[in-house]
C-alpha cells in the first residue's frame, strides 16, 4: 500500500500547487494541446529498505518525483524559470504531504537545464522524497 499512498500524496501536492498546466499522469492517456503549456509527472522509486534492525523496523521508501514542464518553443527561459520556482516553493525541502496515513517528506528539489524535446521547451524538476512505512507484525 505504501507506493500507492506515496504516489497519491505527491500527485495531490502537485495538484495543489496551483499551476495552470494540464498534466500527463502515469498510466493515463494524454495528448498535449499544441501551443499550450503542459506538465508530465513520473514517480521514480529508488528503493525500499528496513530503516533499522528487526522485523518491526519501519521500511524506508526513497525516490524522485520528476515533473517535466513543457512550453511552446518560443516561450523563453523567464516563463519556464518562473514556473520552476513555483514548483520548487511547493516542494521545498522540509515540506511534507500525507495520504492515507502515509507521510512523505521532501528532501530537495533540483531542476535541469531547459532543453528542446519533441517540439517543446522542457525543464525537469527532480523532487527527492523519503517516507517510512510502519510494519505490523503478526
> Which domains does the chain possess?
2-133 (3.30.2000.20)
In this prediction the pTM is 0.89
**Cα pseudo-dihedral 113, 48, 5, 3, rounded to 10:** 80
Strand 96-99 relative to strand 102-111, pairing: antiparallel
pLDDT at residue 14 is higher than 90 = yes
Is residue 132 classed exposed, middle or buried when 0-12, 13-18 and 19+ CB atoms within 10 A define those classes? middle
pLDDT digits (tens, 9 = 90+) for 68-91: 999 999 998 999 999 999 999 999
For residue 138, name the pLDDT band (cuts at 50, 70, 90): low
pLDDT at residue 50 is higher than 80 = no
Span 10-37, average pLDDT: 93
Distance CA 89, CA 74 (A): 25
Distance CA 129, CA 61 (A): 8
Amino acid at each position: 500500500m505504501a507506493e500507492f499512498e506515496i504516489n497519491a500524496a505527491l500527485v495531490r501536492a502537485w495538484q495543489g500547487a496551483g499551476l495552470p498546466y494540464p498534466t500527463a499522469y502515469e498510466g493515463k492517456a494524454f495528448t498535449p494541446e499544441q501551443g499550450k503549456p503542459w506538465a508530465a509527472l513520473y514517480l521514480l522509486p529508488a528503493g525500499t529498505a528496513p530503516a533499522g534492525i528487526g522485523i518491526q523496523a519501519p521500511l524506508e521508501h526513497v525516490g524522485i518525483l520528476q515533473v517535466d514542464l513543457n512550453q511552446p518553443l518560443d516561450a523563453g527561459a523567464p516563463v519556464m524559470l518562473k514556473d520552476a520556482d513555483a514548483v520548487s516553493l511547493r516542494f521545498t525541502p522540509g515540506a511534507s504531504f500525507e495520504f492515507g496515513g502515509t507521510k512523505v517528506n521532501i528532501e530537495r528539489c533540483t531542476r535541469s537545464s531547459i532543453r528542446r524535446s519533441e517540439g517543446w521547451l522542457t525543464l525537469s524538476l527532480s523532487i527527492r522524497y523519503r517516507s517510512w512505512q510502519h510494519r505490523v507484525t503478526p
